[in-house]
């Protein structure tokens, strides 16, 4: 059987949900059928992580979002490596990857991880990204979205041959949750008796941490032992920290933490207050850690967390709604236990094995189609 070479292209400047998804694919593909390669478009941690597992990796730095200067070296490298299919992740990767695939006469697959309209700090940048995506969408052979919500959004801007494949979560081992809880709290100076409400995510407007902060300020009036834990870094760090300092709310802002899921046992309640979310991979990690969930009823989140069963869902940006949902869990331990039990049964449905198998089936279809279509 022939082994096909698959080139994944992604920004790679940070480790978020899309980067975790790519690493999972790179490390779990059946290499006797699909041998992975990786191209990163910014210097960052992803390339080093990929090289640790012997994946051929190279960085082609883009100096700005429309920088096409890496295109010649990228196409040359892809030809040199004998690439059979290009798989893109994110706006910059879509631009260079789709053009490269067209130039090389290769099938191109794009995975959409999030809503482009909410990925940028400025409306102008978002409009530019959406415009470029519409222009290059006809160059794709297929599109994968990580939720049905995103599938509908991509279809509205002209996407075709769309398939939803949910992100898969590998099992995490929490050997001694109580010990992990104690160690993390000790390391960061969080009192043992505090009720910790936490979240993990990039400090970006789309993640909605400001709404969690405002809800926690309300909750602190009723629950004086409450402590807010924010894990992540990003462009809003200074603004969020300024908001926290204006109030008497006890808080910990860790910045970026590798393997942030290991902090989950230190939390009593996890909140994902996003105003836009493709799927929310961290929710599956939270279910594994047996921590109750409150999240926004937005994007792909309701496809992962069933409202009232696996967690409580709140309209995005509803500060009072978040405060009330959190209070109901704090005041009702039986509700918390019920949500945790349901989450424990829920998360295995989103497995790495399913994600990889379904993606390999898409590769096979696109490659079979490309070998039977005349090249133009």
Is pTM beyond 0.85? Reply is yes
Give the three-class secondary structure for 169.
coil
DSSP letter string over 270-315?
EEE--SS-S--HHHHHHHHTT--EEEES-TTHHHHS-BTTTBEEE-
Looking at the structure, tell me whether residues 237 and 128 fall in a common domain: no
Give the three-class secondary structure for 66.
coil
pLDDT tens digit sequence for 233-255: 999 999 999 999 988 899 999 99
Looking at the structure, tell me whether residues 85 and 215 fall in a common domain: no
* Phi/psi of residue 147, nearest 5 degrees: -160, 160
Residue 2: closest CA among 365, 364, 370: 364
Looking at the structure, tell me whether residues 164 and 236 fall in a common domain: no
Looking at the structure, tell me whether residues 340 and 359 fall in a common domain: no
Domain carrying residue 258: 177-349
pLDDT along the chain (376 residues), means of 10: 93 84 94 96 91 94 91 97 97 95 97 84 79 90 96 91 93 83 96 97 95 97 97 95 92 93 96 95 95 97 97 98 98 98 96 95 93 58
Q: What whole-number distance in Å separates Cα of residue 64 and Cα of residue 71? A: 13
Q: Which residues partner with 118 through β-bridges?
A: none
* pLDDT for residue 175: 72
Looking at the structure, tell me whether residues 182 and 131 fall in a common domain: no
Looking at the structure, tell me whether residues 89 and 10 fall in a common domain: yes
46, with CB counted inside 10 A (0-12, 13-18, 19+), is buried
Looking at the structure, tell me whether residues 317 and 356 fall in a common domain: no
| Total domains present in the chain | 2
**Is the C-alpha dihedral spanning 95, 100, 103, 106 positive or negative?**
negative
Q: 275, 291 in Cβ contact below 8 A?
A: no
- Residue 227: C-alpha distances to residues 194, 203, 313, 330, 331 (Å): 6, 18, 21, 13, 16
Looking at the structure, tell me whether residues 306 and 363 fall in a common domain: no
278, with CB counted inside 10 A (0-12, 13-18, 19+), is buried
pLDDT above 90 coverage of the chain, percent: 82
* pLDDT for residue 376: 47
* pLDDT for residue 374: 53
- What the block records as the tokens of 24 is 């999972």
Q: Which residue has the tokens 């309300």?
A: 218
Looking at the structure, tell me whether residues 211 and 162 fall in a common domain: no
Q: What is the CATH number of the domain that holds 199?
A: 3.40.50.2000
Q: 141, 161 in Cβ contact below 8 A?
A: yes
Looking at the structure, tell me whether residues 190 and 99 fall in a common domain: no
Looking at the structure, tell me whether residues 217 and 185 fall in a common domain: yes
Looking at the structure, tell me whether residues 243 and 277 fall in a common domain: yes
* pLDDT for residue 22: 95
pLDDT tens digit sequence for 1-11: 689 999 999 99
Q: What whole-number distance in Å separates Cα of residue 166 and Cα of residue 114? A: 12
């Amino acid at each position: 059987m022939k082994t096909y070479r698959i080139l994944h292209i992604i920004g790679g400047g940070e480790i978020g949900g899309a980067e975790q998804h790519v690493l999972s694919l790179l490390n779990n593909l059946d290499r006797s059928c699909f041998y992975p390669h990786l191209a990163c478009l910014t210097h960052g941690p992803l390339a080093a992580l990929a090289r640790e597992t012997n994946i051929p990796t190279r960085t082609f730095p883009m100096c700005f979002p429309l920088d096409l200067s890496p295109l010649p070296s990228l196409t040359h490298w892809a030809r040199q490596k004998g690439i059979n299919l290009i798989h893109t992740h994110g706006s910059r990767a879509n631009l260079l990857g789709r053009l490269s695939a067209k130039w090389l006469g290769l099938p191109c697959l794009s995975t959409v991880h999030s809503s482009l309209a909410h990925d940028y700090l400025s409306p102008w940048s978002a409009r530019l990204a959406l415009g470029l995506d519409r222009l290059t969408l006809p160059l794709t052979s297929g599109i994968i979205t990580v939720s049905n919500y995103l599938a509908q959004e991509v279809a509205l801007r002209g996407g075709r041959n769309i398939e939803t494949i949910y992100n898969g979560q590998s099992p995490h081992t929490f050997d001694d949750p109580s010990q992990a809880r104690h160690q993390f709290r000790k390391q960061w100076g969080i009192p043992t008796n505090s009720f910790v409400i936490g979240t993990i995510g990039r400090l970006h407007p789309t993640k909605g941490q400001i709404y969690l902060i405002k809800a926690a300020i309300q909750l602190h009036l009723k629950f004086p032992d409450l402590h807010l834990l924010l894990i992540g870094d990003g462009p809003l760090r200074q603004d969020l920290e300024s908001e926290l300092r204006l109030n008497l709310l006890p808080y910990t802002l860790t910045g970026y933490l590798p393997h942030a899921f290991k902090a989950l046992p230190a939390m009593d309640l996890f909140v994902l207050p996003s105003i836009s979310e493709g799927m929310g991979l961290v929710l599956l990690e939270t279910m594994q850690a047996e921590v109750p969930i409150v999240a926004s009823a937005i994007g792909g989140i309701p496809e992962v967390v069933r409202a009232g069963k696996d967690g409580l869902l709140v309209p995005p940006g509803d500060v009072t709604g978040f405060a009330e949902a959190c209070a109901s869990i704090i005041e009702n331990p039986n509700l918390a236990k019920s949500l945790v039990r349901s989450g424990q049964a829920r998360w295995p449905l989103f497995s790495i094995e399913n994600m990889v198998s379904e993606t390999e089936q898409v590769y096979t279809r696109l490659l079979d189609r490309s070998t039977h279509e005349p090249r133009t």
